[in-house]
Structure 1
Amino acid sequence: MHINPHLFILPRTPGQIVWDYKNHKQFELDLKYSTRLAELIDNPSNFNNQHTIDAHFLSAGIMTTTAPITIEWGWDELSKIFHIGTKNIPCDHVPRDIHEWSKQYLDHCTEVLTTPAPPTRICEHATHGLMPLPKPCSLPQSSLAEALIDRKTCRAFTGEAVSLEAVSTLLYLSLGYLHERENDIDDSVIEGLGARRSSPSGGGLNACEGFLLVQNVIGLEPGLYAYRPAEHALSFLRPLSVQTLGQLLCGQHFINNLPVGLFITSRFDKLWWKYEHSRAYRMAYVEAGHISQTFQLVATALGLHTWLTGALTDNQVEALLGLEDSAEQPLFFVGCGQSDGQVMCTELKALLGAQGKEQ
């Protein structure tokens, strides 16, 4: 007899939760069951089919007669739990054709709409001090292919100021609700879900949001701003913190003079409002990736260089954005400015040069 290898245990006084993450099943164990499970983890050969608890464990799949297969996994257990645990969306009934799917999806959406929609973002509660952004400028008449080819990740920026018009264009084409697409909305679109961005969004929820970190933008005081896509405007949140940008991004200090950057967050409450299964967590990162790439292509078309990272000092970033213990969480950072186009920062190039001379 063997312990199911796809379990993790959560302490939840007065008992514990055993989660079979591969099969999307949860069990709440009292002290008696928890103690017995600990005994079997210590020595699975003590399994006794005549023991009531053991029989329950076998029936539930906590114990199994099949020897576990060891799969190669180069990362830690947490990433393995996440990947396997978000596979195979639980589905009571798989539609047999497009008609069944249409009815099932419509029923699901109708059920979702009977529950209260997530509240507005905390940063949108205050309407005073809202700063409308200038009209986005037209991008140069260059091809998409040129922007894709020219886009590169740079790590040496001059710190030169970025224009407010460029920032407006970046935000509008990355996160804004596009007025140009309002005619695409027909009567089948649920009220409140008609906003369209340039990047696709899971369930049309537009769960990603943006916080603009300004260090050198013409016409804007340095500080942190929340982007308000419905109004295409910024709301000032707070001056820049004493931490350098590099401290917020896991010590990547070569980026300290980046003139402007965008923290991309995700409204998890929006996602789980419509999608209760854990696979929707993957979509948060997929959507953030779409927006990050769009931001970079727009910046490249505007003649700016870009840099991006997923290495965030999470606790500090959450505190800066006012998102501690919030259902909105930061996932990614992307920024832009003038650069000589170097992939490596000056200090790293000098270090590599010195090592080369020593050899």
Structure 2
Amino acid sequence: MHINPHLFILPRTPAQIVWNYKDHIQHELDYDYSKRLGQLINNPDLFNSGNTIDIQLLNAGILTVSKTDNTEWGWDELSKIYHIGTQNIPCKHIPQNIHEWTREYLDHCNEVLAAPLPPARRMLDNASTRIELPTPTTPAHDNLTHALTQRKTCRSFTGAVLSLNDVSSLLYLSFGYLHERDSSADGIAEGLAARRSSPSGGGLNACECFLLAQNIEGLEPGVYAYHPAEHVLTPVNPWPQAPLGQLLGGQHFINNLPLGLFITARFDKLWWKYQHSRAYRMAFVEAGHLSQTFQLVATALGFNTWLTGAFADDQVESLLKIEGSAEQPLFFVGCGESDGQAMCQEMLDLLREEQS
């Protein structure tokens, strides 16, 4: 018999809270159960199938019959608990089609809006000194200004094919190691000279990306790893049989998205340089930088974008063939031709139906 390795124990007088952070299940143990658990932690071989408490601890998943292999983790236990505890969003039912998703999402929004709304912005005291800023100017024909003002999250894509040239530009400018910056690597340690268009903690470039190609000219539908130093793709898996929305929390309005990217983090790179778990924050910061750069580049190329953090980690890790490794998926971004709608057509139809 073994103790479940994904337990977090909290003393809450007069009870003991045992939280299975991997499965999102919480138990409250009284003194007798807590005492028995302590004995079994000290020596799991004391398990007695005739002991009612032992059987209940086993049925609750606090004890396990088989030993669970722990994935290597280079930081402290608290960061590991947070990482594992926020994987695989608890969901009783993943919407199986776009109509289920629109109904469930609308119900969720109505439930949220029924509660008082937090202050929309920082309060401005009338007595405070106000420094008026000049009217913002947008330079004519400035591509960056255009990309910043035109970037928009859309949920209605046509599915139109993307050219491989555009995909090449998008990957290089967002995730590639820029040859144009080779001269800026003087004095930098060997192996750390590569530079992207986005900043990276410690210059480690700890984030990577996988391309989900559904409708790209000259590229077979499938999952590909992008290699930024060589600017090449390598096949990882065929295009998944299930709709893309099934992988992304039931958001089926995205099923015809021609191109998507999973942004992953190589934690082992961060562990190598930064032993304190504060560096865990840097993985998310870097993913955010890359996500924004991707969206601006896609906008400049004439595409609309969409992004989400809602996905089934286990399924994504399997699809990308990184399960059981120190590389973990953090975010998803995608782009394509769109009619510019922030809401999908099915949601607009449902709203009109509700209002009529």
- Once the 2 structures are TM-superposed, how far is the Cα of residue 236 of structure 1 from its aligned partner? 1.1
Residues 104-159 of structure 1 show CA distances to partners (whole Å, capped at 9, x for unaligned) of xxxxxxxxxxxxxxxxxxxxxxxxxxxxxxxxxxxxx6421111110000000000
Higher relative CO (CA 8 A, sep ≥ 6), structure 1 or 2? 2
- Alpha-carbon distance in 2 for matches of 1:240, 1:8: 38
The equivalences for 1:2-41 within 5 A come to 8-9=8-9
- Alpha-carbon distance in 1 for matches of 2:82, 2:221: 38
Residues paired across the two proteins, number: 232
Aligned to 1:290: 289
- Once the 2 structures are TM-superposed, how far is the Cα of residue 288 of structure 1 from its aligned partner? 0.4
Is the CA contact (8 Å cut-off) linking 1:154 and 1:307 kept in structure 2?
A: yes
- Alpha-carbon distance in 1 for matches of 2:336, 2:142: 19
Aligned to 1:300: 299
- Alpha-carbon distance in 2 for matches of 1:340, 1:181: 36
Is the CA contact (8 Å cut-off) linking 1:142 and 1:301 kept in structure 2?
A: no
- Once the 2 structures are TM-superposed, how far is the Cα of residue 9 of structure 1 from its aligned partner? 3.8
Aligned to 2:202: 203
Is the CA contact (8 Å cut-off) linking 2:236 and 2:321 kept in structure 1?
A: no
Matching residue's letter, 1:205: L
Aligned to 1:150: 150
Alignment gaps of 5+ in structure 1: 1-6, 11-33, 39-77, 84-140
Is the CA contact (8 Å cut-off) linking 1:248 and 1:313 kept in structure 2?
A: yes
- Alpha-carbon distance in 2 for matches of 1:178, 1:219: 24
- Alpha-carbon distance in 2 for matches of 1:9, 1:268: 26
- Alpha-carbon distance in 2 for matches of 1:255, 1:212: 15
- Once the 2 structures are TM-superposed, how far is the Cα of residue 217 of structure 1 from its aligned partner? 0.3
Question: TM-score under structure 2 normalisation?
Answer: 0.62
- Alpha-carbon distance in 2 for matches of 1:288, 1:281: 12
- Once the 2 structures are TM-superposed, how far is the Cα of residue 35 of structure 1 from its aligned partner? 5.5
- Once the 2 structures are TM-superposed, how far is the Cα of residue 82 of structure 1 from its aligned partner? 5.0
Residues 229-258 of structure 1 show CA distances to partners (whole Å, capped at 9, x for unaligned) of 010010111211212110110100000000
Alignment gaps of 5+ in structure 2: 1-6, 11-33, 39-77, 84-140
- Once the 2 structures are TM-superposed, how far is the Cα of residue 276 of structure 1 from its aligned partner? 0.9
What RMSD over aligned residues (CA atoms) do the two structures have, in Å? 2.5
- Alpha-carbon distance in 1 for matches of 2:258, 2:36: 59
- Alpha-carbon distance in 1 for matches of 2:200, 2:36: 46
Aligned to 1:74: none
Matching residue's letter, 1:195: A
Aligned to 2:315: 316
- Alpha-carbon distance in 2 for matches of 1:318, 1:342: 31
Aligned to 2:163: 163
Give yes or no for the alignment of 1:172 onto 2:211. Answer: no
Is the CA contact (8 Å cut-off) linking 1:157 and 1:255 kept in structure 2?
A: yes
- Alpha-carbon distance in 2 for matches of 1:274, 1:332: 23
The equivalences for 1:1-359 within 5 A come to 8-9=8-9, 82=82, 142-187=142-187, 189-357=188-356
- Once the 2 structures are TM-superposed, how far is the Cα of residue 328 of structure 1 from its aligned partner? 0.3
- Alpha-carbon distance in 2 for matches of 1:300, 1:354: 33
Matching residue's letter, 1:184: S
Question: TM-score under structure 1 normalisation?
Answer: 0.61
Residues 305-339 of structure 1 show CA distances to partners (whole Å, capped at 9, x for unaligned) of 00000111111111100111110000000000000
Residues 176-212 of structure 1 show CA distances to partners (whole Å, capped at 9, x for unaligned) of 000000011112x100000000000011000000000
